[in-house]
Amino acid sequence: MQRRVFLRSAAAVAVLGSLRFSGFAFAAGGGPEDKLIEVWTGEHGGYPAFDLVNPTSIKAALEKGMELSRAEIAEIAGTYGAPTFANTIAALEDSGRALDRAQRFFGTFTSAMNDQAMQDLQTEMSPVLSAFGDDIIQNARLFARIKAVYDGRATAGLSPEQNRLVEYYYQNFTRQGAALNDADQAMLKELNQKLASLYTKFGQNELADEENYRLTIETEADLEGLPESVRAAAADKGKWVFTNTRSSMEPFLTYSAKRDLREKGWRMWIMRGDNGTATDNKAVISEILQLRTQRSRLLGFPTHAHWAVANNMAKTPQAAMDLLMKLWGPAARRAQEEIADMQAIADKEGAGITIEAWDHRFYSEKVRKATYDLDQNEVKQYLQLDKVRDGMFWAAERLYGLQFAKLDGLPVYHGDMSVYEVTRDGKRVGLWYFDPYARAGKSSGAWMNEYRTQERFKDDVTPIVSNNANFVKSGSGPVLVSWDDAVTMFHEFGHALHGLNSNVTYPGVAGTSVKRDFVEFPSQINEHWFPTPELLNRFALHVDTGKPIPAELLAKIQKSLKFNQGFSTVEFLASAIYDMKIHLAATPDAPIDPDAFEKTSMAEIGLPREIVMRHRPTQFGHIFSGDGYSAGYYVYLWADALTADAWELFEEKGVWDPSTAKAFLDDILSVGNAVAPDEAFRNFRGRDVDTEALMRLRGFA
């Protein structure tokens, strides 16, 4: 598996978790907080007022948003007359819009501009927002109205999308305890507030260990093996500083010829949140697991894993585990073969070592060169960040008719950001923001944000989305990215295309508001257009000469695409299996040591000692900094099964075939959750998914 990064939506911190609030209008003349929660107006369809955002204004906006939402919910719950779609479900869709906008600023800044003031605000407001969400879920009069509409939906004359929306609200409320008795609801509210605080603590601990640990090299001799671009990115006042982030450490581990420094950097990287300091996450994880199990049992599920997966396509933890284990055996065998190839090269060179985990990337690169005569650093000279971005635009235009035009003058929260207007046939589709560089206070990895969701409910509202990454900014000249980083850019842009191409009526089922194991499908399939000759010949241009990538080098790249699949698949599967196993094993009373469980569970499946989990427990933000991907890291593989099968259709018809691209746009990208995911896939593919396509894609068939 290529680099997999989580979809980090600002809406992920929304008050109800999965309920989506959207807006409210105000008279002019208020404070900055009013500007944050007013309808976004101005040219290009309106835009977020990032120039007015600070912790004080966000807090005031959140508080005012909650106040307004309480009044709106009280009005809906107290409506006179029988519950109907219009006076209950549609009214809920139109409520809380002010709070939604405040929430999106809050989520954006806690992921991208999380300085100490924002961290303090996050610590303060996360449990407050959790309690507010529970107050709405536990509003008995409101839930009674939702249930009445749900029970009568078969004879209410609803459209298919309206019916999906009714089911969406009813399932969200019941999954979060709306039907519990008063005592259990009080307990649930307490558990959710505790969990909200722990999620914040976990994420802040992880961020602290990324920012406070550095590998500093003071002599040029210790840079042996590092390409000039890696050296330049690390240069800092006569020294070379490698930060504790993936974008900095992976190139170092791949190229550094100094084995002792590789080990030092590797240990620093994998020990984030596990250093026995004030930012250690082990106790945080143990408490999260206990509280989640208590909550799941209150909600009628034996474990958190059962609760989480019931709302996904997989339905049961066993179904998810079956897919994971189907791939584990072939992937582990391939990984052992790859390690043997590395050891052979080390022995041939007379290194006198046994391959260890900190050697893996270094010797893997040697194997790549020996097997395919392919030097990734040579490839990197053809991968300029701006050109890769332009390639994303070109592919989106060819496939879906989208055009991107850079805008100047719109407010941004950091000077590194850029903004583009997206159009199709001259008509505005939305706005796309790009925030590519690493900095203090920014979460590591890459993600997509949805600042505003598409809808046609009251007005024709166009979406606003962003892509965010952590590339190391170059001191001068173009920023060069690795092959995997370029694939990641296409992956995250796939999420952006999912949000931009949404074409439904109601925001609650728009864009990326789909099942968690379906949401990665559009992003993962978008990766497949990056390696195509048509794209690379246009945008893989040498940083110095500007010449396109030579045909001989392109042929080597295409030949090597399945290289190292054992390692990349195993490190992902280890994380996904751990995630599912520990959530199945957790109990309300007995704390679990996450490190000890890691050793035991990895021994059970036979994880090669030369490979560690892609995300070790104490830095596994996907599953411990929120509920989003908890007991759900498997979803990348589930979506990959959909992707592999769908991509075979593109290959059969031609990867740029207009009719196939149009079908994908109409059946997958545009429908959001207005169509059930299994039905949407059948509409596109003409049948249910063939999971053997995944084995063929990985080269394990």
| Residues with a known catalytic role | 492
Secondary structure (DSSP) of 85-117: IIIIIIHHHTS-HHHHHHHHHHHHHHHHS--HH
DSSP code for 349? T
One-letter amino acid at 138 equals Q
> What count of Cα atoms within 13 Å lies in the side-chain half-sphere of residue 34?
7
**C-alpha–C-alpha distance, residues 496 and 448, integer Å:** 6
DSSP code for 213? -
Cβ neighbors of 47 (< 8 A, separation 6 or more) are 40, 410, 411, 419, 431, 464
DSSP code for 400? H
Query: What is the Cα 76 distance to its own chain's centre?
Result: 34
Phi, psi of 469 (to 5 degrees): -140, -175
**C-alpha–C-alpha distance, residues 129 and 196, integer Å:** 9
Two tokens, residue 697: 């894609």
C-alpha angle 500-502-507 in degrees, rounded to nearest 5: 110
**C-alpha–C-alpha distance, residues 28 and 45, integer Å:** 19
C-alpha angle 191-197-198 in degrees, rounded to nearest 5: 85
Secondary structure (DSSP) of 452-520: E--B-SSS-BPPEEEEEEEEPPPSSSPPB--HHHHHHHHHHHHHHHHHHT---S-GGGSTT-S-HHHHH
221: nearest Cα among 258, 265, 263, 266: 258
3-state secondary structure string across 614-666:
CCCHHHCHHHHCCCCCCCCCCHHHHHHHHHHHHHHHHHHHCCCCHHHHHHHHH
Two tokens, residue 36: 């944050």
Q: In what order do the strands lie in the sheet with 239-243?
A: 214-217, 239-243, 235-236
* CA-atom Rg of the chain in angstroms: 25
**Cβ(209)–Cβ(275) below 8 Å:** yes
**C-alpha–C-alpha distance, residues 461 and 452, integer Å:** 8
Instruction: Name residue 678's beta-bridge partners.
Output: none
Instruction: Name residue 548's beta-bridge partners.
Output: 541
Task: Name residue, tokens 């961020």.
Answer: 207
| Other residues' Cβ atoms within 10 Å of the Cβ of residue 382 | 25
Query: What is the Cα 548 distance to its own chain's centre?
Result: 32
DSSP code for 448? E
558: nearest Cα among 367, 364, 372, 338: 372
Three-state SS at 550: coil
26: nearest Cα among 12, 40, 15: 40
Q: What angle, rounded to 10 degrees, do the helices at 246-255 and 259-270 form? A: 150
520: nearest Cα among 644, 387, 695, 423: 644
